[in-house]
């Protein structure tokens, strides 16, 4: 019996126009009413998903979200951080130097603020167009505040150029950091211990929920860890073809109420 559903947003719960279908909302509310924990699991900060939390009805005590792609576990009602892994200054400086060398833009995210760093003047970051809800500041490395948590770094640029540059990133950086593409135009750089799977495991343990009682629903490479971790890993019909190979269930697309389809098929029958 599934007791916790970990749910990605972009390409999963959200349609292309960034809205949630009424069928998905109704199905999630039904599952919650039966006692199933609905946990949004996203690369965004909590401030950027407040409207989604309220639309689904996940503002009660005991409701949680996993933010920054597993970088933090937070209580929805209070914003309290139960678990977090931050990057340190030397890690930021290391990646800054690399991005200058390979001519890629770099942004550092702290809470709901994104700091643009000048690593590729001819190739400016497009992150603000991908995530307009955050606050944005242009700073030099010296001006980047030192007394704030660095949740993650992102490289946001057009797909073809980004993919070519990713090929020249030294392999040791994949040991130093958890690096993955979460969208076609977005590379995310996280603390090496950060993943959606690790965050879900810590939350599930806190709640007394077994790994076999977790269902994870996603569509992209940044969802791989939780798809592989969960008792039931679900990939959307529009999801990454390679990710579908590790799924226990492939649902319909995000335009076809794929979240509701998975829950109606795999979760709700056990509660009847």
Q: How far apart are CA 107 and CA 87, in angstroms?
A: 13
Chain length of the chain: 272
Separation between Cα atoms, residue 187 and residue 176, nearest integer Å: 15
Q: Which two tokens stand for residue 61?
A: 């005590």
Q: Could you tell me which residues are beta bridge partners of residue 189?
A: 153, 179
For 76, counting Cβ atoms within 10 Å of its Cβ (0-12 exposed, 13-18 middle, 19+ buried), the class is buried
Nearest to 119 by CA among 93, 150, 145, 137: 93
Q: Are the C-beta atoms of residues 258 and 27 closer than 8 Å to each other?
A: no
Tell me if residue 8 is catalytic. Answer: yes
Exposed / middle / buried, residue 90 (Cβ in 10 Å: 0-12, 13-18, 19+): exposed
CB–CB of 39/4 below 8 Å?
yes
> Using CA atoms, how far apart are residues 248 and 250, in angstroms rounded to an integer?
7
Rounded to 5 degrees, what are φ and ψ at 230? -65, 150
Comparing CA positions, the residue from 43, 79, 45 lying closest to residue 59 is 79
**Catalytic residue from among 8, 107, 223, 257:** 8
Positions marked active-site? 8
């Amino acid at each position: 019996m599934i007791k916790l559903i970990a749910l990605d947003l972009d390409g999963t719960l959200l349609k292309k126009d960034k809205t949630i279908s009424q069928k998905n909302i109704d199905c999630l509310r039904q599952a919650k009413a039966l006692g199933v924990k609905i946990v949004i699991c996203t690369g965004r900060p909590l401030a950027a998903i407040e409207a989604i939390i309220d639309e689904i009805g996940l503002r009660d005590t005991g409701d949680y979200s996993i933010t920054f792609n597993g970088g933090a576990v937070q209580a929805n009602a209070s914003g309290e951080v139960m678990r977090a892994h931050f990057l340190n200054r030397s890690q930021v400086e290391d990646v800054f130097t690399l991005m200058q060398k390979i001519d890629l833009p770099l942004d550092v995210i702290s809470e709901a603020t994104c700091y643009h760093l000048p690593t590729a003047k001819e190739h400016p970051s497009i992150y603000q167009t991908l995530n307009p809800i955050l606050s944005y500041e242009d700073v030099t490395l010296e001006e980047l505040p030192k007394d704030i948590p660095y949740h993650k770094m992102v490289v946001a640029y057009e797909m073809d150029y980004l993919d070519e540059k990713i090929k020249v990133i030294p392999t040791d950086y994949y040991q130093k950091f958890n690096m993955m593409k979460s969208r076609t135009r977005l590379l995310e750089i996280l603390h090496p211990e950060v993943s959606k799977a690790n965050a879900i495991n810590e939350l599930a343990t806190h709640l007394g929920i077994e790994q076999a009682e977790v269902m994870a629903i996603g569509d992209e490479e940044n969802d791989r860890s939780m798809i592989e971790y969960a008792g039931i890993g679900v990939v959307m019909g529009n999801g990454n073809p390679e990710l579908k190979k590790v799924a226990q269930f492939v649902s319909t697309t995000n335009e076809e109420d794929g979240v509701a389809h998975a829950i109606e098929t795999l979760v709700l029958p056990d509660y009847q």
